[in-house]
Amino acid sequence: MPEKTYDHQQIELKWHERWSQDPTLYQAEENSARPKYYVLEMLPYPSGALHIGHIRNYSIGDALARYMWMRGYNVLHPMGWDAFGLPAENAAIANQRPPREWTLSNVEKMKRTHSRFAFSYDWDREVTTCEPDYYRWNQWFFLRMLEKGLAYQKQALVNWCNQCATVLANEQVVDGCCWRHDSTPVEQRALEQWFLRTTAYAADLLEDIKQLEGNWPDRVLTMQKNWIGRSEGAEVDFTIQGYGPVRVFTTRVDTIFGATCMILAPEHAIVATLSEDLKAQAKRMVDARANQGPGDVLKDGFDTGLRAVNPFSGETIPIWVGNFVLMGYGTGAIMAVPAHDERDFEFCRKYGIDVVPVIKPVDGDLPDGATMTVANGDYGIVANSGQWSGMTSEDARREMAAHAEREGFGKSAITWRLKDWGVSRQRYWGTPIPVIHCPKCGVVGVPDDQLPVLLPRQVQITGKGRSPLADVPEFVDVPCPKCGEPSKRETDTMDTFVDSSWYFYRYCDAKNSNAPFDPAKIAYWFPIDQYIGGVEHAILHLIYSRFWTKMMRDIGLITNAEPVKKLFTQGMVIANGAKMSKSKGNVVNADLVADEFGADTARLFALFAAPPERDMDWTEAGAEGIYRFLGRVYRFATRNIGTAGGDGSSDAKILRKLHQVLMKVTQDFDSRWHFNTSIAAMMELLNELHAEESKISAAAMAQSIEIVTFLLAPFAPYLAQELWEEQGKSGPVFRQQWPAFDAELARETDVEIPVQINGKLRARVTVPAGLDKDALEAAVRADEKVAAQIEGKTVVKVIAVVDKLVNIVVK
RNA sequence: GCCCGGGUGGCGAAACCGGCAGACGCACCGGACUUAAAAUCCGUUUCCCCGCAAGGGGAGUGCGGGUUCAAGUCCCGCCCCGGGCACCA
Tell me the pLDDT tens digit for each residue of A198-218. Answer: 999 999 999 999 899 889 998
Which carries the bigger pLDDT value, residue A585 or residue A26? A26
Dihedral sign of CA atoms A18, A21, A27, A33 in order: negative
Reported ipTM: the value is 0.94
HEC per residue, A541-563: HHHHHHHHHHHHHHCCCCCCCCC
Question: What residue type is assigned to position A133 of the chain?
Answer: D
Task: Average the pLDDT over A467-496 and give the result.
Answer: 92
Task: Average the pLDDT over A272-291 and give the result.
Answer: 85
List of A residues 241-260 with CB within 7 A of strand B: 249-252
Question: What residue type is assigned to position A124 of the chain?
Answer: D
Q: Is the peptide bond before A452 cis (omega within 30 degrees of 0)?
A: yes
List of A residues 334-353 with CB within 7 A of strand B: 334, 341, 343
Q: Would you say the C-beta of A266 is within 7 Å of strand B? A: no
CA A759 → C1' B47, Å? Answer: 21
Task: Average the pLDDT over A544-570 and give the result.
Answer: 95
**Any idea which nucleotide's C1' is nearest the CA of A415?**
B88
| Percent of all residues in chain A with a pLDDT value above 70, rounded to a whole number | 95
**Any idea which nucleotide's C1' is nearest the CA of A672?**
B16
Task: Average the pLDDT over A561-582 and give the result.
Answer: 85
CA A802 → C1' B54, Å? Answer: 33
Q: Would you say the C-beta of A630 is within 7 Å of strand B? A: no
Q: What single-letter DSSP state applies at residue A501? A: G
At A183 the pLDDT is 67
Measured distance CA(A393)–CA(A809) in Å, rounded:
56
**Of A710, A730, A729, A728, residue with least CA distance to A720:** A710
CA A755 → C1' B61, Å? Answer: 22
CA A608 → C1' B29, Å? Answer: 26
Which protein residue has its CA closest to C1' of B84?
A: A223
Q: What single-letter DSSP state applies at residue A739? A: P
Task: Average the pLDDT over A474-490 and give the result.
Answer: 94
CB atoms inside a 10 Å sphere around CB A30: 8
pLDDT score of A82 more than 90: yes
Measured distance CA(A122)–CA(A22) in Å, rounded:
11
CA A638 → C1' B37, Å? Answer: 27
Q: Would you say the C-beta of A10 is within 7 Å of strand B? A: no
- Please count the CA atoms within 13 angstroms of the CA of A785 that sit on its side-chain side: 10
At A294 the pLDDT is 44
Cβ pair A102, A429 in contact under 8 A: no
Cβ pair A81, A129 in contact under 8 A: yes
Tell me the pLDDT tens digit for each residue of A211-247. Answer: 998 899 988 998 899 889 899 999 999 999 888 899 9
* Pairing between β-strand A530-534 and β-strand A36-41 as defined by DSSP bridges: parallel
CA A635 → C1' B34, Å? Answer: 21
**Of A144, A127, A120, residue with least CA distance to A23:** A120
Beta bridge partners of A425: A493
CA A614 → C1' B7, Å? Answer: 14
Q: Would you say the C-beta of A409 is within 7 Å of strand B? A: no
- Average pLDDT over chain A, rounded to an integer: 90
Which protein residue has its CA closest to C1' of B40?
A: A632
At A761 the pLDDT is 86
Using pLDDT thresholds of 50, 70 and 90, give the confidence band for residue A295.
very low
pLDDT score of A182 more than 70: no
Measured distance CA(A59)–CA(A605) in Å, rounded:
10
Which span out of A585-594, A670-679, A704-713 was modeled with the highest average pLDDT? A704-713
b/e burial code for range A724-738 (CB count within 10 A of at least 16 → b): bbbbeeeebbbebeb
Q: Would you say the C-beta of A624 is within 7 Å of strand B? A: yes
* Pairing between β-strand A316-322 and β-strand A261-264 as defined by DSSP bridges: parallel
| Share in percent of chain A as helix, strand, coil (round to 5) | 40, 20, 35
Q: Would you say the C-beta of A233 is within 7 Å of strand B? A: yes
Longest dimension (CA), chain A: 110
CA A678 → C1' B22, Å? Answer: 18
Q: What single-letter DSSP state applies at residue A574? A: E
Using pLDDT thresholds of 50, 70 and 90, give the confidence band for residue A311.
very high
For A51, residues 6+ apart whose C-beta sits below 8 A from its C-beta are A573, A580, A587, A588, A589, A590
At A547 the pLDDT is 95
CA A759 → C1' B59, Å? Answer: 15
Nucleotides on chain B within 7 angstroms of protein Cβ: 3-6, 11-16, 19-21, 23-27, 39-42, 57-59, 69-71, 83-89
Tell me the pLDDT tens digit for each residue of A621-657. Answer: 999 999 999 999 999 999 999 888 889 999 999 999 9
CA A83 → C1' B52, Å? Answer: 74
At A458 the pLDDT is 79
**Any idea which nucleotide's C1' is nearest the CA of A687?**
B24
Q: Would you say the C-beta of A760 is within 7 Å of strand B? A: yes
Using pLDDT thresholds of 50, 70 and 90, give the confidence band for residue A173.
low
CA A754 → C1' B69, Å? Answer: 14
Measured distance CA(A246)–CA(A117) in Å, rounded:
63
b/e burial code for range A98-108 (CB count within 10 A of at least 16 → b): bbbebbbebbe
Using pLDDT thresholds of 50, 70 and 90, give the confidence band for residue A179.
low
Angle CA A64–A69–A73, to nearest 5: 110
CA A479 → C1' B62, Å? Answer: 71
Task: Average the pLDDT over A570-597 and give the result.
Answer: 83
pLDDT score of A439 more than 90: yes
**Any idea which nucleotide's C1' is nearest the CA of A804?**
B19
CA A360 → C1' B19, Å? Answer: 52
CA A765 → C1' B16, Å? Answer: 25
- Estimate the crossing angle of helix A675-692 against helix A599-608, to 10 degrees: 110
Cβ pair A482, A446 in contact under 8 A: no
In this prediction the pTM is: 0.92
Measured distance CA(A723)–CA(A727) in Å, rounded:
6
Instruction: List, in sequence order, the alpha helices (H) in A96-208.
Output: 99-116, 132-147, 202-207
pLDDT score of A390 more than 50: yes
Q: Would you say the C-beta of A210 is within 7 Å of strand B? A: no
Specify whether the backbone of A598 is left (phi greater than 0), alpha (psi in -120 to 50) or beta. left
**Any idea which nucleotide's C1' is nearest the CA of A296?**
B87
Task: Average the pLDDT over A143-153 and give the result.
Answer: 96
Cβ pair A116, A16 in contact under 8 A: yes
CA A622 → C1' B36, Å? Answer: 28
Which carries the bigger pLDDT value, residue A86 or residue A163? A86
Which carries the bigger pLDDT value, residue A459 or residue A490? A490
pLDDT score of A365 more than 90: no
pLDDT score of A448 more than 70: yes
Tell me the pLDDT tens digit for each residue of A512-541. Answer: 999 999 999 999 999 999 999 988 888 889
Using pLDDT thresholds of 50, 70 and 90, give the confidence band for residue A1.
confident
HEC per residue, A746-762: HCCCEEEEEEEECCEEE
Q: Would you say the C-beta of A631 is within 7 Å of strand B? A: yes
CA A330 → C1' B89, Å? Answer: 8
For A510, residues 6+ apart whose C-beta sits below 8 A from its C-beta are A78, A124, A125, A126, A127
At A46 the pLDDT is 93
List of A residues 659-718 with CB within 7 A of strand B: 664, 667, 671-672, 674, 676-677, 679-680, 683-684, 687, 690-691
**Any idea which nucleotide's C1' is nearest the CA of A250?**
B89
List of A residues 313-332 with CB within 7 A of strand B: 323-326, 328-330, 332
For A231, residues 6+ apart whose C-beta sits below 8 A from its C-beta are A251, A414, A415, A416, A417
